[in-house]
Amino acid sequence: MTDYFAGDVAARYDADCADMDVEPVVDFLLPFAAGGALELAIGTGRIAVPLAARGVRVAGIDLSPDMVAELRKKTDAIPVAIGDMTTTRVDGEFSLVYIVFNSINNVTTQDGQVAVFANAAAHLAPGGSFVVEVGTRNRQPLTVFDLSDDHVGVDEYDHDTQRLVSHHFTLRDGGWRRISIPFRAVSPAELDLMARLAGMELVDRWADWDRSAFTAESTKHVSVWRKP
């Protein structure tokens, strides 16, 4: 997999995500984490660090050394394995494995996404939970998802292949820079099948971390699957 989060992207990641409230995420995850938590695509530790501050044993997996370097500026107490979350393993079992902020879509093949579910299940203790936050598919071929004086975000989507590319145009130092990141959009039903293949079953699905009802109008979902 290509590391799209290297260099300047990693250095600016926390600042770019500063308006995202992490406390509702940590509040949601905490009850599942009594037996430890593993974050897939842990990145800069935006969620993992405050979760660990609540007394949870947290570990992580991430593909990007530069993102993990930003995490290391915050703490050395969270062990992180550098590697592809489809196959990379860490020691021990956990009562919670989680992946947030559309990171499951960074895996751009169906086989790869199936492997993520299998890897999550392999790390879970019996009765453990896999929690995923991901957007629902927008069927429009082009969607402007952000528009400001210094950033324009455009999603390009091909319904037939489920290929999604997020184009970010950002004003830096007086000039516009573009980065385009490929994703694979995936429906809730397809994720449920992936979970079943990994031996897990759906327990809950919400529209957001506040446990609001998931409906046909929801733009994302937070889903919980459980390992028997």
**169-196, pLDDT tens digit by residue?**
888 888 898 888 888 999 999 999 999 9
3-state secondary structure of 143: strand
Tell how far CA 93 is from the center of its chain: 20
CB 94 within 8 A of CB 37: yes
Q: Could you tell me the pTM of the whole model?
A: 0.91
Based on the fold, state whether residues 98 and 204 are members of the same structural domain.
Answer: yes
Asked whether residue 3 is domain-assigned, the answer is no
pLDDT in tens, 142-151: 888 888 888 8
CATH number reported for the structural domain that contains residue 88 in this entry: 3.40.50.150
Mean pLDDT rounded to a whole number for the chain: 94
Based on the fold, state whether residues 129 and 218 are members of the same structural domain.
Answer: yes
Based on the fold, state whether residues 62 and 102 are members of the same structural domain.
Answer: yes
CB 226 within 8 A of CB 127: yes
Asked whether residue 2 is domain-assigned, the answer is no
Based on the fold, state whether residues 76 and 131 are members of the same structural domain.
Answer: yes
Based on the fold, state whether residues 120 and 203 are members of the same structural domain.
Answer: yes
Asked whether residue 49 is domain-assigned, the answer is yes
State the pLDDT at residue 149: 86
The pairs formed by 223-226 with CB atoms below 8 angstroms and a separation of 24 or more are 223/131, 223/132, 223/134, 223/188, 223/191, 223/192, 224/32, 224/129, 224/130, 224/131, 225/129, 225/130, 225/132, 225/192, 225/195, 225/200, 225/201, 226/127, 226/128, 226/129, 226/130, 226/200, 226/201
State the pLDDT at residue 9: 87
Based on the fold, state whether residues 174 and 203 are members of the same structural domain.
Answer: no
Based on the fold, state whether residues 159 and 82 are members of the same structural domain.
Answer: no
Domain with 171, as residue range(s), is 142-179
Based on the fold, state whether residues 127 and 151 are members of the same structural domain.
Answer: no
Asked whether residue 1 is domain-assigned, the answer is no
Based on the fold, state whether residues 75 and 12 are members of the same structural domain.
Answer: yes
State the pLDDT at residue 228: 97
Taking residue 208's Cβ as centre, other Cβ atoms within 10 Å add up to 17
Domain count, the chain: 2
Based on the fold, state whether residues 202 and 106 are members of the same structural domain.
Answer: yes
207 contact partners, CB below 8 Å, separation of at least 6: 213, 214, 215, 218, 220, 221, 222
Based on the fold, state whether residues 110 and 12 are members of the same structural domain.
Answer: yes
Based on the fold, state whether residues 81 and 95 are members of the same structural domain.
Answer: yes
More confident residue, 139 or 215: 215
141 CB-side CA count, 13 A: 2
